[in-house]
């Protein structure tokens, strides 16, 4: 089934006429409150999943997850999607937040804007990547709006803005030649002109880190702090790290081993999406079990082996909610295009961004790439480098307390 492309705008317009006051500068950006309303699509999803045939037994039972998703894992998640997964509950949870859409450069941008009651709150932009969404920040948004005190006794809280990347979930698909630099410009407009923040901080993970680094380097008047978990520079090899006499901690050695494995058998999806995005995008367009098979194993392989146990909330329900968002909004296809559109964005020569704004960096042990502190220090005004012994690629779900603490740490360096 194909939704009319303006379905979401229509919903937003209806809600918008009921909710009167917004604190946004509406300007020419046509800002409207937005509610997620996809429950009507769930019967189609469940019937497709329920009617999908899977093999009776695994072809090669010893193959293991590094050969792709295991049949038992796929069956368990599929069964849960049909029988116990409660979309309405997840949707209500997401709708507790204040969602909006705006029109920027001719495109629809969806974002959550959760404000603190504190007048001194720091505006912070949280940027997701692939295969993530605003949903991966759910556990950190409200805590960040709540005032706490830092070690110096100063009150700390945030006005949190979480957009959907262009082509993801409720944001419209950008033109074919759109790059992460264009996204950075669009999000700077969102923060400054649409929402009226003259300065702000940014946090990013995965593609969101690349956008965040572009913002950090290109908008040095408005972006006054960045917290990243990734750099748009190729991470150094094991040999290069050794040749530079860099000593790694035990946690970093685990990350290094996972990075080596990713380089050997983990990056097939990247080549596929970077070169033939329509093949995988259309093959899985109306195939929820296909999207599940393609995404769930990567989510698990990039996460802590303890995912789903405290402090991680990255359980089957979170995985199914994240994949449902891609399937139900028909944006799996446009999301994979971000690879094809940005294959040139990884640099090998480390250069320093032209900004004096503080840069904070965190590495989560079970993630799949490693940048030692010595390398991060080459690209910005590094003021904090942390290694966490729990969590992986999706830190907002896999170790929310650590991510909340890291983002709050921005306040220790915030001078504007
Ligand atoms: C799934 O299919 C089975 C067998 O055809 C049927 O009995 C069951 O009601 C279906 N469940 C859903 C949720 O559609
Ligand atoms: C990208 O494509 C649009 C049309 O979709 C065109 O107006 C624009 O000039 C192009 N930009 C670049 C950098 O090629
Ligand atoms: C995990 O590593 C990836 C690179 O593989 C990076 O893009 C992402 O930002 C990292 N995320 C976290 C939370 O460490
Ligand atoms: C690493 O240490 C060795 C032995 O002390 C030394 O010869 C070499 O110059 C060092 N390399 C760097 C890049 O500092
Ligand atoms: C911003 O960047 C420009 C050059 O790109 C540089 O001259 C200027 O000093 C930078 N400003 C800050 C506040 O870092």
Residues sharing a CB contact under 8 Å with residue 157, sequence separation 6 or more, in sequence order: 116, 117, 118, 120, 121, 122, 144, 145, 146, 147, 148
* Residues near ligand 1 (Cβ within 6 A): 46-47, 50, 82
Atom of ligand 4 nearest to the CA of 244: 13
- Arithmetic mean of pLDDT, 172-178: 98
Please give the distance, rounded to the nearest whole angstrom, from the Cα atom of residue 50 to the centre of ligand 1. 6
The predicted pLDDT at position 151 comes to: 75
Say how far apart CA 10 and CA 91 lie, in whole Å.
18
Look up the pTM and report it. 0.92
* Cβ 103 vs Cβ 30: under 8 Å: yes
The predicted pLDDT at position 232 comes to: 84
Residue 109 pLDDT > 90, yes or no?
yes
In the chain, the domains with their CATH numbers are: 32-412 (3.40.50.1820)
Mean pLDDT in the chain? 92
pLDDT in tens, 73-108: 999 999 999 999 999 999 999 999 999 999 999 999
Atom of ligand 2 nearest to the CA of 178: 1
φ and ψ at residue 136, rounded to 5 degrees: -70, -10
Residue 390 pLDDT > 50, yes or no?
yes
pLDDT in tens, 9-18: 323 333 333 3
The predicted pLDDT at position 349 comes to: 84
Ligand nearest to the CA of 217: 5
Mean pLDDT check: name the lowest of 179-188, 194-203, 252-261, 310-319: 252-261
Say how far apart CA 198 and CA 226 lie, in whole Å.
15
- Arithmetic mean of pLDDT, 148-174: 94
Please give the distance, rounded to the nearest whole angstrom, from the Cα atom of residue 47 to the centre of ligand 1. 8
With a 6 Å cutoff on the Cβ, whether 222 touches ligand 5 is no
Say how far apart CA 265 and CA 281 lie, in whole Å.
21
Q: Does 339 participate in catalysis according to the annotation? A: yes
Predicted confidence band of residue 407 (pLDDT cuts 50, 70, 90): very high
- Arithmetic mean of pLDDT, 57-69: 95
Say how far apart CA 318 and CA 131 lie, in whole Å.
13
């Amino acid at each position: 089934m194909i939704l009319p492309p303006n379905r979401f705008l229509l919903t937003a317009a209806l809600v918008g006429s009921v909710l009167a006051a917004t604190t946004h500068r509406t300007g020419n950006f046509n800002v409207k409150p937005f509610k997620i309303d996809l429950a009507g699509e769930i019967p189609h999803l469940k019937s497709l999943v329920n009617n999908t045939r899977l093999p009776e037994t695994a072809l090669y039972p010893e193959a293991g997850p590094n050969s792709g998703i295991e049949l038992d894992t796929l069956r368990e998640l599929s069964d849960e999607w049909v029988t116990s997964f409660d979309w309405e509950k997840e949707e209500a949870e997401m709708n507790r937040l204040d969602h909006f859409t705006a029109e920027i450069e001719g495109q629809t941008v969806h974002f959550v804007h959760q404000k603190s009651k504190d007048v001194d709150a720091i505006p912070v932009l949280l940027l997701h990547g692939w295969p993530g969404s605003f949903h991966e920040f759910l556990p950190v948004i409200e805590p960040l709006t709540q005032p706490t005190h830092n070690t110096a006794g100063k009150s700390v809280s945030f006005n949190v803005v979480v957009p959907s990347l262009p082509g993801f979930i409720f944001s419209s698909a950008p033109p074919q030649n759109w790059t992460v630099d264009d996204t950075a410009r669009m999000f700077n407009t969102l923060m400054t002109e649409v929402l009226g923040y003259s300065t702000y901080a940014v946090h990013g993970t995965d593609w969101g880190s690349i956008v965040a680094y572009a913002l950090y380097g290109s908008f040095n008047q408005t972006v006054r702090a960045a917290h990243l978990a990734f750099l748009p520079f190729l991470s150094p090899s094991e040999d290069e790290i050794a040749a530079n006499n860099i000593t790694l901690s035990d946690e970093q050695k685990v990350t290094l081993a996972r990075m080596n494995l990713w380089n050997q058998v983990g990056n097939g999806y990247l080549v596929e999406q970077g070169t033939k995005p329509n093949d995988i995008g259309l093959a899985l367009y109306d195939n929820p079990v296909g999207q599940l098979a393609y995404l769930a194993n990567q989510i698990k392989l990039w996460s802590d082996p303890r995912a789903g146990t405290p402090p991680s909330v990255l359980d089957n329900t979170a995985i199914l909610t994240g994949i449902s968002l891609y399937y139900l909004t028909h944006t799996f296809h446009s999301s994979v295009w971000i690879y094809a559109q940005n294959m040139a964005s990884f640099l090998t020569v480390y250069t320093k961004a032209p900004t004096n704004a503080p840069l904070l960096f965190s590495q989560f042990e079970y993630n799949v790439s490693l940048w030692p502190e010595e390398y991060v220090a080459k690209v910005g005004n590094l003021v904090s480098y942390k290694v966490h012994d729990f969590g992986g690629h999706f830190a907002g779900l896999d170790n929310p307390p650590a991510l909340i603490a890291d983002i709050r740490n921005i306040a220790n360096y915030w001078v504007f």
